[in-house]
Structure 1
Amino acid sequence: MPAVRIVGSDQLQERSAFKFQFMREGLRIEAFVTRFQGRVVAFENLCRHIPITIDYDDNRFYAPDDRHIVCQTHGALYEPLTGKCVRGPCEGASLHALRVEEREGAVWLLNVDRIQTQAKESAED
């Protein structure tokens, strides 16, 4: 199964996030990976209420309580480990999760051939 390195494990601190893009069916998809309670998870960076980026392009994903991911536009709150909306206009819906794993000192996105992180492309042979 193809896997692409997203970020070094040491660069992803607890409750921090790292944005990246990947291609799926010819479309560029923006996503983010975060570490919460020691676990690494990744989601597409699109609110389930209205398909706009959650972070307003400023890389701030967590609510002031540091317990939820928050959509900066309408305040929808999502559980960081599951992506489920627990409060807001899309309550009950979930962010689109991506398959990631942490190994060899890095976080890897599974089932893709190519990603882009901070204007630098990376591909695994």
Structure 2
Amino acid sequence: MASQKRLICKSSELRDAGNGVRFATHDKNGEEASAFVIRHHGVVFGYLNRCAHIQVELDWQHGQFFDADSELLMCATHGALYLPDTGECIGGPCRGAFLTKLLITEKDGKVYLMD
């Protein structure tokens, strides 16, 4: 079965280390899930919007995923810190765990989720 792509946003909506774009998707069990895309060092990354520690959304306010230094993704609930490029938790209660990464592609000024 060929993979399909779903438009998430325009590339111009993602500023390096700026606000992310949230969207709805499904997890591996087919359940509805919140997800997001961010841009870090010029590259777009996407994850399910679920902390690896407990299943809560990460953003402080809608679309705000980066810490105060704009270098790491941070869970608003318990302060877990994640590398934006891999989703690995490097600080906080879930050190060594990972966010659920999504297959994202950017082409012709648009960002897509690959299903």
Q: Same fold (TM over 0.5)?
A: yes
Q: 1:89 aligns with which of 90, 93, 102?
A: 93
1:29 is the counterpart of 2:53: no
Gaps of 5+ in 1: 112-125
Question: What stretches of structure 1 move > 6 A for 4+ residues in a row?
Answer: none
Aligned residues: 111
The partner residue of 2:66 within 59, 62, 68 is: 62
User: Which of 24, 38, 44 is the equivalent residue of 1:40?
Assistant: 44
Bigger RCO (CA 8 Å, 6+ sep): 1
Amino acid at match of 2:11: S
Structure 2 unmatched ranges of 5 or more: none
CA distance 1:96–1:26, change in 2 (3 Å): closer
Q: Comparing both structures, which one devotes a greater share of its residues to strand?
A: 1
AA matched with 1:100: I
Query: How far apart are 1:58 and its partner, in Å?
Result: 2.6
Instruction: State percent identity of aligned pairs.
Output: 36
The CA RMSD over aligned residues, in Å, is: 1.2
Equivalents in 1 of 2:26, 2:83: separation in Å?
26
TM-score (norm 2): 0.91
**TM-score, L = length of structure 1:** 0.84
| Alpha-carbon distance between aligned partners in 2 of 1:71 and 1:106, rounded to the nearest angstrom | 27
